[in-house]
Structure 1
Amino acid sequence: MKKILIASCDMGIGGVERSLAGMLEQFSYDEYKVDLMLYSQSGEFMELLHEDISLLDEMAEYKTFRSSIAETFRARQIGIGITRLVSKARTALETRLRKLEEPGYYQQQLMWRYALPLLPKLEQRYDVAISFLWPHYFVADKVAADVKIAWIHTDYSTIVTNHAMDLKMWSNFDHIIAVSDACKSSFISRYKELKDKVSVIENIISPPAVSMLADSGEVDNPMLRDRRFKLLTVARLSYQKGIDQAIKAFDMLRQLGYRDMAWYVVGYGGEEAALREQIAEYGLQDSFVLLGKQTNPYPFVKACDLYVQPSRYEGKAITVTEAKILGKPVVITGYPTAASQVTNYIDGYITEQSVEGIAAGIERLYQDKELRDRLARNCAGMDYGNAYELQKLYSLFQGDRRGSA
């Protein structure tokens, strides 16, 4: 029986975490012994972990990556705390000099790279080690395995990283998995020398599980009491997901006279305070509603009239596929990987990537009930289950990296 290590950050509410839980739910535990290394054993999705997984003990050094700098110092991880301060200062300088739009990825990369000498190795050797969440330094540098695999969940052409530093890290992996063809193409455009390592495995989704959770009666759902036309977005509150654009688009629709609409957002994140301030600035408190963290977002999806993904970029948003599983008409912005997410006019509608585009897409679907109904019917008639994708992963387990570490 092959020994498999899978590493990720935590099990907080998010698309990557749902994707990981879905993959682990479908895993073949008769053939593989799976250890799961979470840097922090926290998050609402911990309860979704399969019972056959062996959860490795936390390591204090790695847990700091889900802590603030102050908490890191309080935990007496002084060296790591100093590397965090240095990475933050360098990122702030680079942001000013290079006018970086979203420096979060760059800072995270520096944070890991600077801390590497202070991080312990995992003592056990594995047949296969999988790093599920970028940056992949833990598996790349601190795990011994015959085969190493890393995942890409985002459109790599849209994020800022140190190219040389990233390339050195990626070179430690035998296989790199993208969640869509478009995601693969964007990665290869950045790292042409790695093209032979990259393949596509879509996020593993279980339609029966999504449908079952959507019918859960344990959720207090204000959408059920709202008679207006209900839009919904499920997303982390971050620049990438474009909720700020959604607020502006919704205000534009209100100015055009569309007063019988409400937009609900399930999710949390660092932009929440700024978004609430923006909502108040536009006077939308009664119609643009942030619902916060929801362990089970599916009853909210089931209650909406139109699902909207206003993202600036995506790898392949699992929330969009889940909305389609529940037979909902979907509007997504035309981010670079959008065509891999929906087939336009068949099981979704792709609108222009702008505030005006989001407003126009919603207006089109609001006015055209026939189109909404057709999209919903098409979604309901499709099978979005893809457990077979795991066979692609198993086929990668046969490689050999004798002597790698």
Structure 2
Amino acid sequence: MKKKILFVINNLNCGGAEKALISLLETMDYSKFDVDLLLFKREGIFISKIPKQVNLLAEPENYKYFDMSIKTAVIELIKKGRIDIALSRILSLYTFKTEKKKSVVEQKVWKYLSIALRKLDYKYDVAIGYLEKNPIYFCVDKVNAKKKIGWIHNDYEKLEMDKKIDDKYFNKLDYVFTVSEECLNVLKKIFPQYKEKFKIMHNIVSDKAIKKLSLEKVTDVQFNKEDINIVSVGRLNYQKGFEMAIEACSILKEKGYKIKWNIVGDGEERSNLERLINKFNVKDEFKLLGIRENPYPYVAKSDIYVQPSRFEGKAIAIDEAKILNKPIVLTNFSTAKDQIENKINGLICDMNSYSLASEIEGLIIGSELKNNIVKNLMEEKLGNEDEIMKLYDVIGI
């Protein structure tokens, strides 16, 4: 008899966790599982990638009132006679106004959002909150399941969340998965009482699929041989550190290098990054391309892949660049050494623009270094679809 599994995540917008979930769903054995997927908002570029065997549930009915203007939400809710939810929406606004840490706002708002969301009727064998905060909280509070699993996709310490809130929910989970050794060590340090619940499952990356997708044509960017073509993939947010990349681009330009640096991704920092692009006079060299459903052809056409992040759990984009045998430069965030062996299959630099520019320059002028890195990447085994067995093990099949 098939086991019934529920996955919960906020949406399927362009991000590492969302992409990792799609890869996981593509790898699952549907002869053994019936899988439901709940999105708080049914949106995102990966919606079209959901395997046909997955049953996409309707959005939670009242979630929308916490994602629209408070005036519109309160008027609609009063008309419906839902004074309780209207009051919760008003109280959530107070939290947004008074809580200084953005990372903690979602945690604290959950107690008000929870009032608006009803419990799911179906009983599951396993419920999986595939992202920190709301997806985990929903599984604990709103789902009837024999086993409940949470997922932490980043260095928990760098997320700057309120651990007292998560302690209550971790206590009710059977397992908490994370994505790298360093992330696991951080969780064990902060929550030693739950160390037996913590497990590692690396994000699933299919080398065959990525190589196939990388062959698609790129029509919106010219990759010229006389240029040094650099690509980075990621959300335009503080975590990804693209301000450092802009200044590094300016430094390399001043040294006379013909840089063309394309960023695949979008986010809340776009206007700030555009301002910095103008400030450092790299409008012709540094381009924010926006979201692309298939970023792999851009990476494949590049000479160098750069990940200038401040922190990561395990960056899927780095593993994908490795599969495409691209020399990689990344900043020395806490989990960097979980993905790159410095000067063997990539370069790790200090977390500043000058070090970033220096290591990129090292690849530009050091053909032997670059060739050795590419050679080592070509010899690595990088596909890891068998990671799914770690999930199967705790599900119990």
TM normalised by structure 2 equals 0.93
Structure 1 segment 258-297 matched on structure 2, within 5 A:
258-297=256-295
Residues 1:2 and 2:23 are matched in the alignment: no
Secondary structure of the equivalent of 1:307? strand
Residues 1:82 and 2:87 are matched in the alignment: no
Q: Please report how far the alpha carbon of residue 251 of structure 1 lies from its aligned counterpart in structure 2 after TM superposition.
A: 1.8
Amino acid at match of 1:162: D
Greater mean alpha carbon deviation, residues 346-355 or residues 135-144: 346-355
Amino acid at match of 1:120: R
Deviations, residues 162-204 of structure 1 (Å, cap 9, x unaligned): 2211211221210000111111112222212111110100001
- In structure 1, the residue matched to 2:239 is 240
- In structure 2, the residue matched to 1:105 is 103
Report the aligned-residue RMSD.
Answer: 1.9
Secondary structure of the equivalent of 1:44? coil
Q: Please report how far the alpha carbon of residue 69 of structure 1 lies from its aligned counterpart in structure 2 after TM superposition.
A: 5.3
- In structure 2, the residue matched to 1:54 is 55
Residues 1:207 and 2:207 are matched in the alignment: yes
Greater mean alpha carbon deviation, residues 299-308 or residues 6-15: 6-15
- In structure 2, the residue matched to 1:99 is none
Q: Does the CA-based 8 Å contact 2:74-2:86 persist in structure 1?
A: yes
Q: Does the CA-based 8 Å contact 2:266-2:291 persist in structure 1?
A: yes
Structure 1 segment 1-400 matched on structure 2, within 5 A:
1-63=2-64, 72=73, 76=77, 78-91=86-99, 95=100, 103-135=101-133, 136-217=136-217, 219-225=218-224, 227-255=226-254, 257-398=255-396
- In structure 1, the residue matched to 2:80 is none
Greater mean alpha carbon deviation, residues 229-238 or residues 340-349: 340-349
Distance 1:312 1:75 in 2: 41
Distance 2:14 2:369 in 1: 32
Identity of aligned residues (%): 35
Amino acid at match of 2:391: L
Distance 1:268 1:212 in 2: 24
Count of residues in correspondence between the two structures: 387
Q: Does the CA-based 8 Å contact 1:113-1:137 persist in structure 2?
A: no
Q: Please report how far the alpha carbon of residue 353 of structure 1 lies from its aligned counterpart in structure 2 after TM superposition.
A: 1.7
Distance 1:158 1:72 in 2: 33
Distance 2:219 2:91 in 1: 43
Secondary structure of the equivalent of 1:390? helix
Q: Please report how far the alpha carbon of residue 73 of structure 1 lies from its aligned counterpart in structure 2 after TM superposition.
A: 5.0
Q: Please report how far the alpha carbon of residue 111 of structure 1 lies from its aligned counterpart in structure 2 after TM superposition.
A: 2.2
Distance 1:288 1:69, change over 3 A: farther
Q: Please report how far the alpha carbon of residue 72 of structure 1 lies from its aligned counterpart in structure 2 after TM superposition.
A: 4.9
Secondary structure of the equivalent of 1:128? strand
Greater mean alpha carbon deviation, residues 69-78 or residues 237-246: 69-78
Distance 1:71 1:14, change over 3 A: farther
Q: Does the CA-based 8 Å contact 1:180-1:315 persist in structure 2?
A: yes
Distance 1:30 1:74, change over 3 A: farther
Distance 1:82 1:229, change over 3 A: same
Distance 1:325 1:65 in 2: 40
Q: Please report how far the alpha carbon of residue 237 of structure 1 lies from its aligned counterpart in structure 2 after TM superposition.
A: 0.3
Q: Please report how far the alpha carbon of residue 365 of structure 1 lies from its aligned counterpart in structure 2 after TM superposition.
A: 1.5
Q: Does the CA-based 8 Å contact 2:88-2:115 persist in structure 1?
A: no
Amino acid at match of 2:140: A
Distance 1:68 1:335, change over 3 A: farther
Distance 2:70 2:329 in 1: 39
Amino acid at match of 2:18: E
Q: Does the CA-based 8 Å contact 2:63-2:116 persist in structure 1?
A: no
Structure 2 gaps of 5+ residues are: 78-84
Q: Please report how far the alpha carbon of residue 104 of structure 1 lies from its aligned counterpart in structure 2 after TM superposition.
A: 2.6
Greater mean alpha carbon deviation, residues 307-316 or residues 69-78: 69-78
Secondary structure of the equivalent of 2:196? helix
Q: Does the CA-based 8 Å contact 1:223-1:303 persist in structure 2?
A: no
Distance 2:356 2:132 in 1: 29
Q: Does the CA-based 8 Å contact 2:249-2:285 persist in structure 1?
A: no
Q: Please report how far the alpha carbon of residue 356 of structure 1 lies from its aligned counterpart in structure 2 after TM superposition.
A: 2.2
Q: Does the CA-based 8 Å contact 2:120-2:143 persist in structure 1?
A: yes
Distance 1:299 1:180, change over 3 A: same
Distance 1:390 1:118 in 2: 34
Deviations, residues 315-338 of structure 1 (Å, cap 9, x unaligned): 000000000101101111110111
Q: Does the CA-based 8 Å contact 2:239-2:311 persist in structure 1?
A: yes
- In structure 1, the residue matched to 2:81 is none
